[in-house]
Structure 1
Amino acid sequence: MKKIITVIILFMTFFQTSTIIAQDILKGNDLSTIKVDNLTSNEIDKIKSQLANSQISIDQAEPMVLSKGMSPMEFAKLKARLASSTINSNNVSSTGTVGDITVATDQNVVEYNSPKKNDDILVFGSELFDNPSLNFAQDLKLATPVNYILGPGDELQIAVYGVQEFNSNIAVTAEGKISIQFVGQISVSGMTIEAATQKIKGAIAKVYGTVKSGQSQVSVTLSKIRTIKVTVIGGNQPGNYSVSSLATVFNALHLAGGPGKNGSYRNIELIRNNKVLRKIDVYRFLVKGDQADNIGLRDNDVIRIPAYSQRVVLSGEVKRPGIFEMKNGETFSDLLSFASGFNEFAYTASVNVEQKTGKEFKVLDINEENYSSYIPKSGDVFKVSRILDRFENRIKIEGAVFRPDTYSFKEGMRVSDLVTKAEGLKEDAYTKRAKIIRLKSDLTSEIVNVDLNAALKGDLNANVELKREDVFTIYSVLEFREEYKISIDGEVKNPGKYPYYENLTLNDLIVQVGGFTGSASKRVEIARMIKSDSIKENDSKRVEVFNLELTPENEQIKNFPLEPFDVVNIRRLAVYEKPSVVKISGSVVYPGNYVLANKKESVYSIVMRAGGLTTDANFQGLKIKRPIKSDQIEDIENVSINVNGDNSQEKLSKKLEDEIKFATIPVNWEKIVKDKDHYSNVTLFGGDEIIVSKFNEGVKIVGNVLLTSEIPYRKNKNFNYYIDAVGGIDSKGWKKKAYIIYPNGKAAVAKSFLFFKSYPKVLPDSQIVVPTKPETDKMSSGELVSIASVVTSLALLIVTAFK
């Protein structure tokens, strides 16, 4: 029995604790026993309301709550639940103050599925309801207007504070009354929030004497606004809708998806108490932004969307083409205003309209002066055409004038008038003749020649009268001159072709190209073309050649006059060669860079200059690494070696340029020591590198072998010994094509004669390479069957022939 009593006490304590935090989290003294997971959604909402009434956030309340014993973990849970409640709540609340009236609203949000879009998106006004980003839902976060009419379903929060206190949330009953404790029932339905507040204050003052004396104050707050029901008929999604009592006509129309396919946008009826209260014209809002028709709704209002009476189509060069609904008495000018007028390319003098008769169509032309009087008929199709791509008063001048351009043409305009408009002739203008290209009446063109000099002096015969679309061209004397050039090549800093000027001398040209290079000699060769009116059969010369020698004393040669198309060539010094450097590295006494002392400097000479080979040098491991020059790659590119469409030429040149870059020349040092004239003692070039490797007793085996390794060298052991030492070749290895790379870069391959195969000799520091066996296409079973069939047929044919 004691255990049962203990459990009951603990349960009551827990329940009381939960109730305490739900009722007053700020005033509780002990919050250590609170379990947030056990709090209901209503209790969380009460905590949130308490924080809102105290005008503090949960973050601001954190130090106070933790000081009263709540653990940080439970506080984090509480904060998360409050945040989740804010996001997932179906209540939207707003507060505001108007005068001395505090208004707070709480409205259940009604969600609807997006209505089906209007079938005809060209109808003007349909985009207002088809666009999901447009929404006319009321903003419940704004203060409730003071002229808000109370009704059943609204809820008021009435509070008395001061000497006497009273606080209660009171709903307006179905009879339109509120019931206040000790005060009684007060009828507020149909009253504005402002009038109801004054009435409630007066009634409370009769009971609470301190209110009348001013020692206590009364606060009336609208804490929850009611939901009303409206009916939409003729909409894209007709039906009954539950909306806020603050909703407007456009809000309900948007929920219904706007008018249906045949619904009117101009004569929408708002019916209240079985009477048409107002006719709504959506175009008034779309064209002028006027929301006079967007009035508030009442409970049981009916929005009726009738079928349209007349629609017309406006297409072509207007800013907003589409289908438009017209009212009686509206003109084509009104239709243009709905479409925002003509665009910049429209032909505005007249508009074409296709009109329906009882039997067929007819076409009318509406002139500009009739736009304000023509009344469109239902089914009219107006087409606004584009202006013509031509000019009524254009004339053009081009060539040697200061402002060549297109100008406006006037009747009676002459050549001199157009030249004046173009701000006169340039200095290079050719005045003896100009031309006019003119379009004739039969659409062919003719040329009219003009004596420009006489025309500008006032000669009426020469000062030709111009016509529309004439193109007047004034030549430049520079157009009749040949462009003269001088060529200079050889040992100058900037060789090339340069413009020729009168009195140009050799010295002028040399200065213009930046002077001579350091390798320039005194010899100058000038080639000049031969000009003659007759052909001399005995004279085979193509050009005249002048050989000059420039010296500081010979100023006359420096001032040698040049002529157009001369070719000047500055010769190079007979002996002018910069020092060339080679490099030697590896096992020599003094490795490094060495300058080639003479043109026949050889390998032996450089090795000796480097102090000779060291004791650990491999005599069989000397080689020369020579850079591949660009001219060698060009030689390969200039030779076509394409085979069966395989561009081997391009692949080879690219490989030399990007991958190999160097050529290896093997050197037989032992032969060179015995005979300095041996072919291995090659002549060196600048950029060469002599590499002397150290003696290495290992033999490397790479490629398609089972184990890539380095085997110690053993004298008199043959090729197969080293292959077997690494486990032999693998399934892809091609042994008969195996080769050896010796230390000096020379290679040797296996050879075969009849059934005998010989492999190259193995030396220390060699490298044995086993390549990959090429893949061959094996015959399929079908191909084997085909061959067998052919052989069988041939055999039968032979047997038959010998019978």
Structure 2
Amino acid sequence: MSGQSSSADSTGTSGSGTTLSSGASQSADPTAASGLSTTENPSTNTSFANGGTSLANGAPAPLTADQIFAVLQEEPDTIVELKSLVSDLAQQQGTPIQPDSITDEMLYSKIASSPELRANITTFLRARGYVTDNDLQSFAAGSDGNDAFSFQVPQTPDQQFAGGSLPLNVLPEAISGVPSQASRAGTTQSNLARPVTSARTNPPREPQVLHRPTPYNLLSLRDLYTQLPEQNGQLKRFGSEVFLRRSGYSSNQIAPNARETPLDVPAGPAYVIGPGDSLTITLWGGISQTVTRVIDREGKLALPEAGVVQVAGLSLEHAQAVIADTLKRQFRDAQVAVTVARLRSIRIFVVGDVQRPGAYDISSLSTPLNALYAAGGPTSTGSLRLLRHYRGKELIGEIDLYDFLLHGVQNEEHLESGDTVLVPPTGPQVSVYGAVKRPALYELKGETTLAAMLDDAGGVTVTAELGHIVIDRVVANQQRETVSLDLPAGSSPDSARAAIVAFPVHDGDRIHVSRILPYSQRLVYVEGHVVRPGRMPYHDGMQLSEVLHSYQDMLPEPADRGEIIRLVPPDLHPETINFNVPETLIGNNNLTLQPFDTIRILGRYEADAPQVTVGGEVLRPGTYALSEGLTAAQLVRMAGGFKRDALLTDADLTSYQVVGGTKVVSDRASIRIGDAVDHNDRSADAPLKPGDVLTIHQLTGWNDIGSSITIEGEVSHPGVYGFQQGERLSSILRRAGGFRDTSYPAGAVLVRDDVRKLEEKSREELIRQIETSSTAARMRPTIASGDQSATLQLIQEEQTEVLSRLRSQPPTGRLVIHIDSDISSWENTPADIEVRSGDVLRIPKRPGFVLVSGQVYNASAITFSPGKTAAWYLRRAGGANQIANKGDIFVIRANGSVVGRGSGSWFDHDVLSTQLEPGDVVVVPQKIIGASVFWRNLLTVAQLSSSIAITASVAGLL
């Protein structure tokens, strides 16, 4: 009996431990509301390594959003610390934001949307001990790529935020409401109250409270905005898990057959032996011998040298005496000991509401409990309070399994072959849940009072509210009703217990024992710029000076003004009471506190922080806090001092003042900042006021230091040349040794960065105009509606080609200059331009050709022939083709100037009669098909712009 019980207990214990360790994976919701996981790719997060699979220090992967939310539910005070963490991160990104300005909704939304913040929070929780490495590994194993928790952030119906994420640089006053991902998925208020299922290995016995988002970031309101959610989860039947086999490698299964769990224990002296038992007989004294014999079907035992004896039906003690007397007659001075070597098997029957009814061959030492375990235990409708043991028609006994489950008392009645164990249907049942130690579904047998049911449930917890016990009752065959203990307000614990003892329970009752309030009602709170923020006990008549004793209770430089946020009854709406901190510390204005008061102290730089700004030529320009007595010289030193290009003779100090409370008047003063900083001249220094701006100027000509121009090509000494301010192109060419004999100054290319930027803007504007021009601007009014489709297709192809050419030709930045080989002839004339830093002058070799491009039959370079016109070179290129626009042919000179139909020269009536020089380019544009005048002019400009870089390219090839 005890051996099999031990086996069952061992199995149950192992299974229980397995359930705890694997509960997280079983309870994890793979379709958690948020859908966020650590597989998101936080490309900007330096805390990740190996693609975001683990933290950089080798710790497990960061927590997901719902996992962090679950930890915050268990540790609500952590929310305040996380707001400080978010504030610090925002400060690092250059966005000043105070922790008090971050609401719960903003924090939840940022956690849901930012993998980087989740990684930082994981590191924070791990460093504070809220989660361990084992927890993180369990979370990662249980999540399976999804959240291991099911959690929704409570929201009000009117909170909407289309973006779904809250960047740190969004100021809190710009946010009206931030719903969570669960709310966006259609979460209703009804399913927000379900408790959080945590993957921790040791979940707390007490049900979790629900922290609703507070309208103000006050710790007092955070305590008050808690709900005790109703536990609507299905209760398990008490004792149902005893008959389940659990292992670390399989799910719960019905208990195995008795043959799989052999009973191997010594039989006691009262054991009744019978056919099939194997006895070991040991003799010593006159003879030393050990024999083993099996009792035959007739109940006889064969003894050595003594024949057979009838032993069936005798107890083991009596059988030993009979065997000893028989053997002593054969062996002189022999001592005899008899033990049971192997127990016989008996066949019994288990019927009724059991998992596997039928006949079972079990050990002869088995009890009805062993037989019930072999049959898999009762079904969901089988009774645990009434187990009947029959021998034939005789009722041997009735067994209450609650005696074993609750008190460890086992029935010692052994089974005999042919016995029957009957499990009848269950009797009346009552559910007990809430603040009890064993919430479950209990079967009644003799218990008729509420006190007895609470005893079966292990008693109430220390947080139970005895005066708030609610029973959902079923009036048999009629209706449902809800009743409660009839306790008057202010009842003592003794009267509550007396009422519990006298309160009757009925079949079908659901007993809910509520918890006491999850917060203390005699507290005050301290937060802000103090050394010890948090909760403090409250007593009647408590005054503010008992909380703020001296400046040692506060951080350095507190603000002069503090505030008490009071929750005014009866609805506990917040009101703010201001007080003067110095006056309070010396005993004046000593306010009387009330429960739930929040004393908030601000820092001097938090309450409308006085700031000054320094800019210009200092090492660390920016905005600095204005300390008492700060001067301009001290501000420069705080900013790292002067840079080498700083102008020390004077600096600008701009101040402002409010006139009449209606307008701001600015005032600028000049100070000798060099004397004030370097020579400590107080007369040159100036005290600063909030909002002052100090500007340190730059030395004249500092940016021109090291200016140079690059000369390439056909000069005597090409290279990089420095120059003085105002130096001209002729001077640089003379320093470069002048032109070589092979040079071609008429085709010189001067590239300037400023010109390139202007060309880039002009080209982008031209592309924008072409792309955004309407269809009406492209079409001719005379085109019939039937021809519009084909015409629009041709225009689209034409537009695509022109845009492609524009984008493929980068801006050259060429500045058109007019110079020749005789430097003296153009020196100090308008053609002799001033050089700029970064200029590149390229002098090509004299080309021996003229280039003909565009819509001609043979676009090519034609050998230069003196005195020939553009028409002569065009004929040598085969002439214009059929799609050429002959009326808009233009010539691009080697120096970059353009000769066209509207250039204004005396020969503008016929560009083809222009005499060309080496390096000139004749461009025959494409005909603009079916377009208006506006569209034709627009594409003509585009074709010119795309062709203008040809001469610069030609110069670079020479």
Q: TM-score, normalised by structure 2?
A: 0.43
Rg comparison, structure with higher value: 1
Greater fraction strand = 1
Q: TM-score, normalised by structure 1?
A: 0.50
